[in-house]
Amino acid sequence: MKQFTVPIIYRSPLIAAIKKKRKLDDKMKKDFSPTLLDFGPVQIYLARHFGFCYGVENAIDIAFRTIEENAGKRIYLLSEMIHNPQVNADLKEKGVQFLQDTYGKQIVPFETLGSDDVVIIPAFGTTLAIQEKLNAIGIQTEKYNTTCPFVEKVWNRSEQIAKKEYTVIVHGKPTHEETRATFSHAASNTPTVVVNDMQETIALSKYITGEKNAAEFYDEFQGRYSEGFIVEKDLQRFGVVNQTTMLASDTQAIADFLKQVMIQKYALQEDTISERFADTRDTLCYATNDNQTAVYGLLKTAADLAIVVGGYNSSNTSHLVELCEEKLPTYFINDEEKIISKSSIEHFNFHTKQSSVTTPFLPANEPVKILLTSGASCPDALVEGVIAKLVSFYAVEKTIDQLIAGFAE
């Protein structure tokens, strides 16, 4: 796999040693059990897979290289390159300006840009309309494009099934940059509609079966369907693709449900299902799958609590939190500073979009057992920072340096 140049400030000697050791011991990635960091009175179980994925490292490499190569030029990011506050803050510190916020609200008008300006396309990609606006100004969007290859894979798969006259159903968060981009690319080729979850999928299925009047669709799915969408015609034949950071199990459940709806409506057999339903399972992102599967492996360990580190607007991170919440107390934080003391932690509730402080935080019993993971846009340095903060509250039997030496043996 291609190697990227990622600033040293995002790297961690401890995490690097752990990942190298696990990779050597498990080349085929069959073992999803966590790594135990045994400090004596506190035991931290680290997920098998977490942190920067291929797409994020690619984006960071391109962005920082773009800054170095364009000294003196105005450099813009279309929106947050990835959903990590530290990385985006570092880019701003280097003079990069943001054209839009996460939801597409304009911060810097496109009209103020010139052909000599540099615009970096984020890892989520962008819509065809925005791409055309920038190109009309004379900005080469393809030159500094950090779109994740796995997002582009979804676009390519959508185009392939569009050529066979399938409608595209996108499983994603409607306001997320990636979903907006995927919707734009799919809708340029074929009728397209977005569903956020199984509840919306069930609602959509009632238009497929005719249980609901087609006219109601346009209000219920307002802003979610492509121009000229005809319910009676465009839901007769389709395939499902996803925002790559959704829960893989949710996307699969949605696809399986819709497949059964089509089998029942058209009395199809397994060998004829492709007449109405396209197989698009290969659009699931490998990193999303690995990180989520690693959390399932992590949760097999009995523990007192879980900590998930990452940006609060990170979709893939919120899904890791969601999985952990089903099993035990879970704290979603974006850096070690949110661990206020041994007794208090400030954490984020992604359901309500609010932060709160929990006291007490760590239990009195020893050893305290903590499950730990992070999102695909979270630097390993932040994870090591969280480990160091937790360890600082105890009279530990081993130091982080001793653990590094042990994994390097």
Active site residues: 178
- Tokens 């977490």 belong to 50
Backbone angles phi, psi at 253, to 5 degrees: -65, -40
Contact 10, 60 (CB under 8 A): yes
Query: What distance in Å separates the CA atoms of residue 385 and residue 30, rounded to the nearest whole number?
Result: 28
**How many CB atoms within 10 Å of residue 405?**
12
Query: What distance in Å separates the CA atoms of residue 30 and residue 26, rounded to the nearest whole number?
Result: 7
Q: Which residues of 76-98 are buried (b: 16+ CB within 10 A; e: fewer)?
A: bbbbbbbbbbbbbebbeeeebeb
Helix/strand/coil percentages in the chain, nearest 5: 45, 15, 40
Query: What distance in Å separates the CA atoms of residue 134 and residue 83, rounded to the nearest whole number?
Result: 23
Say if residue 164 is exposed, middle or buried (CB neighbours under 10 Å; 0-12, 13-18, 19+): exposed
Query: What distance in Å separates the CA atoms of residue 248 and residue 242, rounded to the nearest whole number?
Result: 9
Backbone angles phi, psi at 274, to 5 degrees: -65, -15
